[in-house]
Chains A and B, each alone.
Chain A
Amino acid sequence: MAEIPLFEEGVMDQDARLIGSKCPDCNQYAFPAQSYCPRCSHEMERTALSQEGELYTYTIIRQGPPWWKDKVPYTVGRVKLPEGVIVKTQIKNDELSPLQIGTKMQVEPHVMINEQGEKVKIYRFCPVG
């Protein structure tokens, strides 16, 4: 069976490992990967990022944009990785419960229907354990 296509090229691999970039000169990381360092403008190198981090903040979206109307409510947030980058992400929270900021989170692959009605693979974070 054909693999489900990624929602976007260059952001993650099939196992939802996030692809970022690292500056060989000043060690700054970026997500998503970019060509030049946001700190010193040196050329950056692609690198896989940590798969765990801490929940920095979140919200439960109850009203989405028109092209996302049928998907609300859903939980989104920001996860801070050990590399220092903050990743914007959907969060697994089927119960729509209040979350605890600072909770340890890990990335996982998830399948979603995109705007065109096709199945695509995305990354999302869920609380560890």
Chain B
Amino acid sequence: MRNVYVQGVGMVKCGRYTEKIETKAAEACMNALQDAGMKWRDVQAAYAAHVMQGPSAGQKVFSQIGITGLNVTNVENACASGSTALHHAYYDIAYGKYDVVLVVGFEKMKRGVIDANKGEERSYEDKLGLQVMPSEYAQKAQRHMYEYGTTPEQMAKVSVKNHKNGTYNPYAHYQKNFTLEEVLQSRPIADPLTLLQACPTSDGAAAVILVSENVMKKNRNQDPIKFVGTAVQTETILEDIDLTTRTANIAYQMAGLGPKDISLAEVHDAFTIGELLHYEALGFCAPGESGSLIDEGVTEITGSLPVSPSGGLQSRGHPLGMTGVAQVCEIAWQLRGEAGQRQVQNNPKVGLAHTQGAGGICAVNIFSL
């Protein structure tokens, strides 16, 4: 297997677009190409990650920047679509199929609760009003409160932290601070979660260019960022182990690293409780201790293990197909020391990106200087 590097990253600001999504996604691709010092014609294959943008949305994006006949694949894997596309792009290079692969993730979202059954007959769960995303996380929250005594305040602190981080990120949809009281007293959506503990519905696009070692060397990267671990997994009933833990273990093993080696992480904080659960599942703390971890400020930008310095899904936004790709943009900026006011303070060497998707999907990608 060959080494794989991140040659360039690029984003556009998340928000609510009046422009067509393919225009914004094309802009993200151009930003990544500029960052990489490459031209579109250098790209040999491209993945377009999106969930609800329709057939061949990727081809529409790429035709905006050049009709060059390359291998294009559209990837849908719910909220883990972008991460899954990166996973496949990694192996395209690692196994020697291509030297330059671009991954773009993008989404234009409808407002309100996601209708996961678009285009098909409603499921029995949907007919019973059971298929509501905030409810899924709220039930995890209730269970965590029951098992470990985690409090609504500890969950709300995730929102406070990530919104604060978002105020320093020019690409974030929301750049506004909220107090703990404001988060707790915002409209309840599914007990114990309140509106300010749910990610907003945002439009957005992000792109990453992965290259082989010979291409990386030719382009004289000052701080080459190596893609060292990647895993995509789904739920199993064969083993009694958390999906995120199992996925992370595969990626850790591949990277030859463990939770203690991680300098910063971007995790799937679609709802605040999610971030706490992921601290535990990724091995950042023992089961049941995520509440203390947030209380102690360990995961703040100034802490020893910053989590979601970009503002995360809570504040940057969660355009479904974009998220896993935008996480890698943030990790690249942080590892290069280019993150400005939100630059983590622990001299970062290794960044971990984690997403999970409806239907029981998890993806973990790890990058190292």
Q: Looking at the complex, which one of B124, B139, B141, B189 makes contact with A63 (CB distance below 8 Å)?
A: B189
Is B143 within 8 A of A71, CB to CB? no
Query: Inside 8 A of A63's CB, which chain B residues have their CB?
Result: 113, 134, 187, 189-190, 195
Is B130 within 8 A of A90, CB to CB? yes
Query: Inside 8 A of B132's CB, which chain A residues have their CB?
Result: 61, 64-65, 68, 76
Q: Looking at the complex, which one of B122, B142, B188 makes contact with A57 (CB distance below 8 Å)?
A: B142
Provide the bound-state CA to CA distance between A32 and B130, in Å.
14
Give A64 Cβ to nearest chain B Cβ, in Å: 6
User: Is the CB of B119 closer than 8 A to any CB of chain A?
Assistant: no
**A-contact bits for B245-286, CB 8 A (1 contact / 0 none):** 000000000000000000000000000000000000000000
Tell which of B112, B134, B190 has the most Cβ of chain A within 10 Å.
B190
Is B146 within 8 A of A57, CB to CB? yes
Is A61 within 8 A of B134, CB to CB? yes
Q: For chain B, residues 67 to 90, give those with C-beta under 8 angstroms from any C-beta of chain A.
A: none
Given contacts A68-B129, A74-B129, contact A62 B190 (CB under 8 A): yes
Given contacts A60-B190, A63-B113, A101-B146, contact A11 B139 (CB under 8 A): no
Query: Inside 8 A of A122's CB, which chain B residues have their CB?
Result: 127-128
**B-contact bits for A36-64, CB 8 A (1 contact / 0 none):** 00110000000000000000111111111
Is A62 within 8 A of B189, CB to CB? yes
**A-contact bits for B220-254, CB 8 A (1 contact / 0 none):** 00000000000000000110000000000000000
Q: Looking at the complex, which one of A8, A28, A62 makes contact with B188 (CB distance below 8 Å)?
A: A62
Is B139 within 8 A of A114, CB to CB? no
**B-contact bits for A1-23, CB 8 A (1 contact / 0 none):** 00000011001000000000000
Question: Interface majority SS on B: helix, strand, loop or mixed?
Answer: mixed
What is the chain A residue whose CB lies nearest that of B112? Answer: A66
**A-contact bits for B114-144, CB 8 A (1 contact / 0 none):** 0100000010110111111011001111110
Provide the bound-state CA to CA distance between A77 and B132, in Å.
12
Is B191 within 8 A of A88, CB to CB? no
Provide the bound-state CA to CA distance between A58 and B129, in Å.
13
Query: Inside 8 A of A115's CB, which chain B residues have their CB?
Result: 122, 127
Is B129 within 8 A of A61, CB to CB? yes
Query: Inside 8 A of B237's CB, which chain A residues have their CB?
Result: 28, 38-39
Provide the bound-state CA to CA distance between A128 and B174, in Å.
46
Is A39 within 8 A of B238, CB to CB? yes
Interface size class on chain B is 20 to 34
Is B124 within 8 A of A8, CB to CB? yes
Give B187 Cβ to nearest chain A Cβ, in Å: 7
Provide the bound-state CA to CA distance between A58 and B146, in Å.
11
Query: Inside 8 A of B146's CB, which chain A residues have their CB?
Result: 57, 101-102
Q: Looking at the complex, which one of B135, B141, B187 makes contact with A76 (CB distance below 8 Å)?
A: B135
Tell which of B129, B130, B134, B237 has the most Cβ of chain A within 10 Å.
B129
Is A59 within 8 A of B139, CB to CB? yes
Provide the bound-state CA to CA distance between A47 and B187, in Å.
43
Is A101 within 8 A of B124, CB to CB? no
Provide the bound-state CA to CA distance between A32 and B124, in Å.
9
Is A59 within 8 A of B128, CB to CB? no
Give B128 Cβ to nearest chain A Cβ, in Å: 6
Query: Inside 8 A of B141's CB, which chain A residues have their CB?
Result: 59
**A-contact bits for B176-198, CB 8 A (1 contact / 0 none):** 00000000000111110101000
User: Given contacts A8-B127, A76-B132, A90-B128, could you give 4 more A-B pairs where the C-beta distance is less than 8 Å?
Assistant: A58-B142, A59-B142, A65-B129, A68-B129
A-B residue pairs, 6 tightest by C-beta: A59-B138, A57-B143, A57-B139, A101-B146, A63-B189, A65-B113
| 27 A-B pairs (CB sep. < 8 Å) | A7-B127, A8-B127, A28-B237, A32-B124, A57-B146, A58-B139, A58-B142, A59-B139, A59-B190, A59-B193, A61-B129, A61-B134, A61-B138, A62-B190, A63-B187, A63-B190, A63-B195, A64-B113, A65-B113, A65-B115, A66-B115, A76-B129, A88-B128, A88-B130, A98-B191, A101-B142, A101-B143
